[in-house]
Amino acid sequence: MNTLIQTSHEYSHTRILKKTLLSLAVVLALTVGRVNAEIPMLSWTPETNGVYDYGTVPVGQTVSQVFTLTNNGGSASAALTVSISGSPMFTVTSDACSARSLGPGKSCGVVVQFDATSSGQLTATLTANGRKELATASITLIGTGAASRHVYWTNSTYPGSIGRADFDGQNVNQNFITGTASPFGMAVDGSHVYWANFYGGIGRADLDGQNVNQSFITGYANPAGVAIDGSHIYWANVNSSTIGRADLDGQNVNQNFITGLYFPNGVAVDGSHVYWANSLQGGRENTTIGRADLDGQNVNQSFITSPRPYGVAVDGSHIYWANQRGDAIGRADLDGQNVNESFITGASSPYGVAVDGSHVYWTNSNYTIGRADLDGQNVNQSFITRGSDAFAGGLAVDPE
């Protein structure tokens, strides 16, 4: 009997507790609802977790976005003030919110423009503040400037020049850099353009074509191909049949870094090896592509056998070369296997070759530059029409 009475009491206490909690929840909900109905609640759209990303924009271009400010609360915001802080590359170009009192359920718009004047990621904060307490909203803006990319080539007929076009093949400039001395091979990194003056050493200029130094590296023996990595510049000395090397600042020049070559022309480099084209050997028959370690050791002059190779390029999985005698672009695995002398056909005595993350490029003797996908498809033999009768030797593409 006592057990039943105790159980009954516990049941009653539980019911009372549940009713009390339910009453508190109702009171709390009513209180929150009443508070929400009495304050403005501002928010920006579009956004993802309080952030809007403009994405990657080429340097020199602008992109605009309309941001909508909405009051989801129960009272007006009073007069609003819109401001932006952070990178000056974000600017408000249109503002329909400032000095306006935004009522419940009402919206207004602000346009913010991102000017990609330099490369790298930039941020700013767009903020709206009303005169009432809690009438505020902010959003983080992110934009990434990407340096405009270009294709470069050497017009090798003396005195020659360096040509350049936009990455899509437009805006061809045959005289981007002048004052050269029959330039052949060339290379480019994130800050400079380099070229081999066959009659004057290795030249260098800024990416915008300024600060030209035609004698950046001297003591030449008719240099042809040029390649660069993160610490050195390499070039092929045709008449001394050597590969030269120097620091990226032009110091510590070694004209005989690798010896014993055969009329070398194209040069390429990756994270472990230097490659070159032996373009004349044994009566122009047994021509080859050579390879050595980055320190110049373990030289293999017959890494790949190919009929008259000239330009050489390399990416993370393949080596490419201009098969001049076969009017084609050749390709092989980085270990020298699976050689395909006719990977891309239909070229016209190609000389220079370059590669990036999506395409292979080459120079044709008919004054054009060809391009194809990395798998050899979508071949365009006239991707760039140079509009000049100058022989196009070297070729380079801005890094991605």
pLDDT, mean of residues 286-307? 93
| Mean pLDDT value across residues 22-40 | 51
- pLDDT band, very low/low/confident/very high, at 282 (cuts 50, 70, 90): low
**Mean pLDDT of all residues in 211-230:** 92
Q: How many CB atoms lie within 10 A of CB 283?
A: 6
Residue whose C-alpha is closest to residue 182's, from 163, 196, 164, 165: 196
Radius of gyration of the chain (CA): 33
Residue 133 vs residues 76, 80, 141, 338, 377: alpha-carbon distances, Å: 11, 12, 24, 72, 62
> CB-hemisphere CA count at 13 Å for 31?
6
Position 290 pLDDT exceeds 60: yes
| pLDDT at 24 (0 to 100) | 47
Identity of residue 163: G
Q: In whole numbers, what is the pLDDT of the chain averaged over residues? A: 89
Please check whether residue 371 is in contact with residue 361, taking contact to mean a CB–CB distance below 8 angstroms: yes
pTM: 0.71
What pLDDT, on a 0 to 100 scale, did the predictor assign at position 286?
62
pLDDT for residue 28 = 39
pLDDT classification of 132: cutoffs 50, 70, 90: confident
Residues in contact with 286: Cβ distance below 8 Å, sequence separation at least 6, in sequence order? 305
Q: Could you tell me the pLDDT band of residue 26, with boundaries at 50, 70 and 90? A: very low
Does pLDDT of 91 surpass 70? yes
Residues 107 and 262: their CA atoms lie apart, in Å, by 74
Determine which of 34-43, 228-237, 343-352, 375-384 has the lowest per-residue pLDDT on average: 34-43
For residue 84, the SS3 value is strand
Q: Is pLDDT of 113 > 90? A: yes
Q: Nearest 5°: CA angle at 125, between 124 and 128?
A: 150
pLDDT(18) > 70: no
Tokens of 161: 């020049």
| Greater model confidence, 307 or 27 | 307
Residue 351 confidence (pLDDT): 93
Residue 252 has pLDDT above 60, yes or no: yes
State residue 19's pLDDT score: 56
Amino acid 16: pLDDT: 54
Our measurement of the distance from residue 38's CA atom to the centroid of its chain's CA atoms, rounded to an integer in Å, reads 51
Hey, what are 73's tokens?
A: 């609360």
Q: pLDDT digits over 32-84, tens only?
A: 344 455 789 999 999 999 999 999 888 888 999 999 999 999 999 999 999 99
Give the integer Cα–Cα distance in Å for 113 and 34: 39
Tokens 């329909």: give the residue: 96
Q: Over the stretch 174-191, which tens digit does the pLDDT of each residue have?
A: 999 999 999 999 999 989
Q: Is the pLDDT of residue 387 over 80?
A: no
Share of the chain above pLDDT 70, in %: 89
List, in order of start, the domains of the chain with CATH numbers: 42-146 (2.60.40.10), 150-397 (2.120.10.30)
SS3 202: strand
